[in-house]
Structure 1
Amino acid sequence: MDQVNILIIEDDAKIASLLKSHIQKYGYAASAVEDFARVMDAFREVQPHLVLIDVNLPMFDGFYWCRQIRTVSTCPILFISARESEMDQVMALENGADDYITKPFHYDVVVAKIRSHLRRAYGSYSAKSEERTVEASGLVLYPERFMLTYGGQSVELTQKESVLAEALMKKADRVVSRGRLLDLMWEDRHFIDDNTLNVYITRIRKKLKELGFDDPLETVRGAGYILRLEGKD
């Protein structure tokens, strides 16, 4: 990947400008949306590798635009908002976001999170000669495409859903601890609310159901989660 593009969807012009300038210092290309009636047009034009988005926006809120982006892309989406409630953070995740940063924030922290999500989403930013797959009892994950397939059907995942699915599939029919999942999904796990992982577990359950599984993801109280695929061909 020669150039990493980041799209900023923030209606506070001063914050958008400061974010853009700070991000560019680290060698990334940054663009800020100016016409909030044409957010998706800006997204298609920029083709960003990562999106920073506020909750409170003109016309439609950030949750709405997050859902629209998710219909065409699995790129990391990071919310930046002054709204600090747990419900806002849960709604962001349920609408497809990968992270939530509350205002006021340190710009270096935002950049650190950007770099972390880019590493997890795109690795070394270089094309792989052979696509990596993870397989368990016929369930196949394509981590580089954020796609999960089974029996000729497929579902798209977000970047973090892909990380979660991979961890569970690699230890299929064995317990994976909550601590292990938190470590894999977030480098700064001490800032993550315990309910955040629950949201992702619920989302993975829904994706597995779409593939025809009858709730194979079991919660083991006090231990973690186990993906039971025994008997699946």
Structure 2
Amino acid sequence: MKRIYLIEDDPKIANLLKEYLERYEYEVFLVEAFDTIMEEFQKISPHLVLLDINLPRFDGFYWCRQIRHVSNCPIIFLSARDSGMDQVMAIENGGDDYITKPFDFDVVQAKIKSIMRRSYGEYANTKQADFIEISGFHLYLTAMEAQFNEQTVLLTKNEFILLKTLMEQLNQVLSRSNLLEALWDDETFVDDNTLSVNITRLRKKLEDIGIPNSIQTVRGAGYKLVNTWSGLA
């Protein structure tokens, strides 16, 4: 079941849209706190985000940029602002589509279905051609997803970088400094605690798709990825 994170500050619209989309077997999560959107996003790991522009504290453009730092999951803006400039800004800040309020629920559902199909379904050719595979365990480089035994999990940017690095050097010990260097970029500060947190989250996500104990700690040296899933596929 595909997960949708709905970031909308009008509870009436949010609940009506949630109820409607759940009829089409989407799992819809409503925003709980507008100052912890990124924490909620990381926890949910949605396949798609529906994002209003006019929000408390920071607007939707800001949150779109923050999401794009860690994920390339599809983002559809929902807004009463109908100017061409707002639509341009939505696309330039990383959005995939823009729907103006008031909207027809059928149109929203159709756009979601289309984007899901392009990103994850029959039209996702780049995903199917662009991956690393080890014994039935797939890491899709464009979609930033890991898949095993038809179970799929969406990764954050840091989790994706770590898993890709470990898979490319299977059974080899990588030092913490090597992994920190892989995570480092010009926009995001990373430290030893950042690495530990992301390793923990990545282990949990791999366990969720049936791959336990694959990222092993080598005391005093670093981490290595061990094929614990061979024969389970």
TM-score relative to the length of structure 1 = 0.55
Give the C-alpha shift of residue 54 in structure 1. Answer: 0.4
Counterpart selection for 1:94 from 72, 87, 92: 92
Deviation, 1:119, is 0.3
> CA 1:61–1:88 in 2, change beyond 3 Å: closer, same or farther?
same
- Tell me the distance in 2 between the aligned counterparts of 1:34 and 1:114: 22
- Tell me the number of residue pairs that the alignment of Structure 1 and Structure 2 aligns: 137
Match of 2:32 in 1: 34
Q: Deviations over 1:87-108 (max 9, x none)?
A: 0000000000000000000011
Q: Distance in 2 between matches of 1:26 and 1:121?
A: 18
Bigger Cα Rg: 2
Counterpart of 1:10 (choices 8, 11, 14) is 8
Identify the match of residue 70 of structure 2 among 68, 72, 83: 72
Structure 2 counterpart SS, 1:80: strand
2:161 aligned partner: none
How many Å separate the matches in 1 of 2:69 and 2:55?
20
**Unmatched runs of 5 consecutive residues or more in structure 2:** 131-138, 145-156, 158-233
Aligned partner of 1:145 among 128, 142, 146: 142
C-alpha separation in 2, matches of 1:8 and 1:145:
23
Deviation (angstroms), 1:50: 0.2
- 2:142 is matched by which residue type in structure 1? R
Q: Secondary structure at the match of 2:15?
A: helix
1:153-168 pair list within 5 angstroms? none
Q: Letter of the 1:33 partner, please give it.
A: V
Distance (whole Å) between structure 1 residues aligned to residue 55 and residue 71 of structure 2? 21
In 2: Cα distance, 1:144 partner to 1:84 partner: 35
- Assess, with a 3 A threshold, how the Cα gap between structure 1 residues 125 and 43 changes in structure 2: closer, same or farther: farther
Please list every run of 5 or more consecutive structure 1 residues that lacks an aligned counterpart in the other structure.
134-141, 148-155, 157-233
Instruction: Say if 2:148 is the partner of 1:122.
Output: no
C-alpha displacement of 1:145 = 1.0
For 2:70, what is the secondary structure of its paired residue?
coil
Residue in 2 aligned with 1:22?
20
Structure 2 residue aligned with 1:132: 129
Runs of 4+ aligned structure 1 residues displaced above 3 Å come to: none
1:132–1:53 Cα change, 3 Å: same
> Aligned AA for 1:86?
G
- What is the percentage of aligned positions where both structures have the same residue? 57
- The residue number in structure 1 matching 2:228 is none
Question: Contact between 1:132 and 1:144, CA under 8 Å: does it hold in 2?
Answer: no
Distance 1:73 1:20 in 2: 23
Match of residue 177 from structure 2 = none
